[in-house]
Amino acid sequence: MEKLIIAYDMGTGGIKSSLISEKGNIIFSSFSPYETYYPFNKFHDQKPEDWWNGIIFSSRKLIELSGIDVNRIEALAISGHSLGAVPVDKKGNLLREFTPIWSDTRAETQTRYFFKIVDYKDWYNTTGNGFPPECYSIFKIMWYKDNEHDMYKKIYKILGTKDYCNFKLTGKMATDHSYASGSGVYNLQNNDYSENFLEKSGIDKNILPEIIHSYDIVGTLIPEASRLTGLPQKVKVVCGGVDNSCMALGARGIKNGRIYTSIGSSAWIAITSSKPVLDFKYKPFVFAHVIDGMYTSATSVFSAGNSFRWVRDVICRDLIEKEESGCSNAYEMMDILAGNSPIGANKLIFNPSLAGGSMIEESPDIRGGYAGLMLGHKREDLIRSAIEGISFNLRHALDILRKYEDISGQMLVVGGGARSKFWRNILSNVYGMEILKTNIDQDAATLGAAAVAAYGTGIWKDYDIIDRIHKVQSIEQPSTKSIELYETVYRLYQNVTHHMSEIGIMMGNTKK
């Protein structure tokens, strides 16, 4: 009978487990949520035991829902959210109940110290770490050392999110190149930890896990993990990868120059290439790909779906009430309304930076909002302007990548925003590209993790099957006239965002 794989998509809000056939078809999925805790300013914590419990719960639920013979399950792999720093002792016992996740920025003091003795530009060009530096694992480890000295002395290894779960499954500690590339001390060219950066950080290399390939088999299930999950001990645990790289693989990033846009709460554009895309001004964030010798480089928008959700919650509350009473989805009704507004939303510009600026913005203090608002504007203009503003912000991100790579042809769009045909049409004209939607909608990271497991266990000989798994559902074609109109509006948008950055800086200085 056909062999099966379990792929885990370990996100910020919870873990999704999917049962996948050896042909790459998703048969069943289950989801287990977990909490993020914010005890102090800049502290973003989760409980590693919540991740492990999520693996247990979602695995058992998956087995129950599918009713399959678990002996058909050949392997599993995890796509894990990045930049984790889980301290464990030699027996694998957790040394902290809560650990900082990728968005945690408590390590400001440690970052300032590091960059007094390390050139920031050299660090970025070596690591490709384009998020705010405080997010990266090495600075969180330095924070442990400075603030929790007794705990720090007990550390045997610092594990990533999915690597901790792999340990719970197999009893073995390791990471892969994609996850290690978010450590803050990984040299993209040498494919190893940087001795120089480790020395300057004051952190012993031995507490970092051994790096193996994403497709390497860490081990099989230990008896306790088998008992808790309901999976057979013979199931092979493949190392897996960081979510950015698993998503790139699942989004057809198997060849040089493949590119996709992901639109969720945040949004980004990522390209797969044989060389990392490095630009110190805009700082694309780079991860080693789960495919050897490849990289995934991305530019991001902090608030995409979040900003559009704000428009829904504040301006379209009645549509939410209609949805709750059984009418159409609120977002679908918003699309219909926005379609009554022309390109440019009757000269209304929306800047979506409601959560501040990412690295591609002029200032992290940039403010979001509408510009050009007049009494004659209607709700449909405000909705369309919001979609256009998010699309323009993504266009800015795309233009940065275009400086380094020949980007033409089709753009695959994944994530929640991909479901809107209206939004895809706007993107095609703002980008000046064909926009492709496939059946792999919000399952790109899941498919990537499954692909790594299939390749690592020999079920797949290569990753070419991913192209066949993607079934085209829609292609939006740009029009010359619309492209020209959007180019004019885009220039206005650029002027607006420049002034919104200046306003944000002024307001930030006033608060200080």
pLDDT digits 0-9 by tens, 365-400: 899 999 999 999 999 999 999 999 999 999 999 999
HSE value, Cβ hemisphere, 13 Å, CA-based, for 429: 21
Q: How does pLDDT run across 40-88, given as a tens digit for each residue?
A: 999 999 999 999 999 999 999 999 999 999 999 999 999 999 999 999 9
Q: How does pLDDT run across 435-450, given as a tens digit for each residue?
A: 999 999 889 999 999 9
- CA–CA separation, 269 vs 291, rounded Å? 19
Identical fold between 4-245 and 252-439+481-512: yes
Q: Count of residues for the chain?
A: 512
Residue 470 is predicted with a pLDDT of 97
The H-or-E segment that residue 260 falls in is: strand 259-263
- CA–CA separation, 506 vs 500, rounded Å? 10
Residue type, 113: Y
CB 65 within 8 Å of CB 6: no
Residue type, 497: T
Residue 509 is predicted with a pLDDT of 67
CB 284 within 8 Å of CB 278: yes
CB 296 within 8 Å of CB 277: no
Q: What is the DSSP string of 152-181?
A: HHT-SEEE-HHHHHHHHHHS---EEHHHHT
Q: Is 321 exposed, middle or buried (0-12, 13-18, 19+ CB in 10 A)?
A: exposed
The H-or-E segment that residue 141 falls in is: helix 137-147
Q: In the structure encoding, which two tokens stand for residue 263, read together?
A: 């639109």
Residue type, 357: G
- CA–CA separation, 75 vs 256, rounded Å? 28
If you search the block for the tokens 């399950």, which residue do you land on?
73
- CA–CA separation, 269 vs 284, rounded Å? 10
User: Percentage of residues in the chain with pLDDT exceeding 90?
Assistant: 91
- CA–CA separation, 294 vs 253, rounded Å? 10
Nearest partner of 450 among 460, 442, 441, judged by Cα:
460
- CA–CA separation, 463 vs 249, rounded Å? 9
**Res 512 pLDDT > 70:** no
Mean pLDDT across the stretch 306-314?
95
Three-state secondary structure call for residue 93: coil
Q: Are strands 175-176 and 211-212 parallel, antiparallel or unpaired?
A: parallel
Q: How does pLDDT run across 247-259, given as a tens digit for each residue?
A: 999 999 999 999 9
Q: In the structure encoding, which two tokens stand for residue 51, read together?
A: 């991740």
Query: ∠ CA(291), CA(297), CA(298), 5° rounding?
Result: 135
Residue 28 phi, psi dihedral angles, 5° rounding: -145, 155
HSE value, Cβ hemisphere, 13 Å, CA-based, for 377: 19
Residue 441 is predicted with a pLDDT of 86
Residue 327 phi, psi dihedral angles, 5° rounding: -80, -170
Burial pattern 374-398, b for ≥16 Cβ within 10 A else e, equals eeebebbbbbbbbbbbbbbbbbbbb
Q: Are strands 267-273 and 259-263 parallel, antiparallel or unpaired?
A: antiparallel
CATH number for the region 252-439+481-512 comes to: 3.30.420.40
**Res 505 pLDDT > 70:** yes
Domain boundaries in the chain?
4-245, 252-439+481-512
**Res 127 pLDDT > 90:** yes
CB 83 within 8 Å of CB 62: no
Q: What is the DSSP string of 370-408?
A: EES--TT--HHHHHHHHHHHHHHHHHHHHHHHHTTS---
The pTM of the full predicted model, rounded to 2 decimals, is 0.93
Nearest partner of 100 among 137, 131, 133, judged by Cα:
137
Q: If you average pLDDT over every residue of the chain, what do you get?
A: 95
**Res 511 pLDDT > 60:** no
Q: What is 4-245's CATH superfamily?
A: ATPase, nucleotide binding domain (3.30.420.40)
- Band (pLDDT 50/70/90 cuts) for residue 433 is very high
**Res 510 pLDDT > 70:** no
- Band (pLDDT 50/70/90 cuts) for residue 508 is confident
CB 435 within 8 Å of CB 410: yes
- Band (pLDDT 50/70/90 cuts) for residue 409 is confident
Angstrom CA distances, 162 to 299, 313, 403, stand at 24, 34, 34
- CA–CA separation, 286 vs 324, rounded Å? 41
Nearest partner of 255 among 428, 460, 405, 92, judged by Cα:
405
Please give the distance of CA 179 from its chain centroid, rounded to a whole number.
12
- CA–CA separation, 108 vs 113, rounded Å? 9
Residue 290 phi, psi dihedral angles, 5° rounding: -70, -15
Query: Cβ contacts of residue 512 below 8 Å, gap of 6+?
Result: none
If you search the block for the tokens 């991913």, which residue do you land on?
466
**Res 408 pLDDT > 80:** no
- Band (pLDDT 50/70/90 cuts) for residue 26 is very high
Q: Number of helices and strands (H, E) in the chain? A: 18, 24
- CA–CA separation, 383 vs 92, rounded Å? 51
Residue 327 is predicted with a pLDDT of 83
User: Percentage of residues in the chain with pLDDT exceeding 70?
Assistant: 99
**Res 499 pLDDT > 70:** yes
HSE value, Cβ hemisphere, 13 Å, CA-based, for 415: 21
CB 76 within 8 Å of CB 231: yes
User: Residues 270, 443, 102, 120: what is their CA dihedral angle, to the nearest 10 degrees?
Assistant: -10
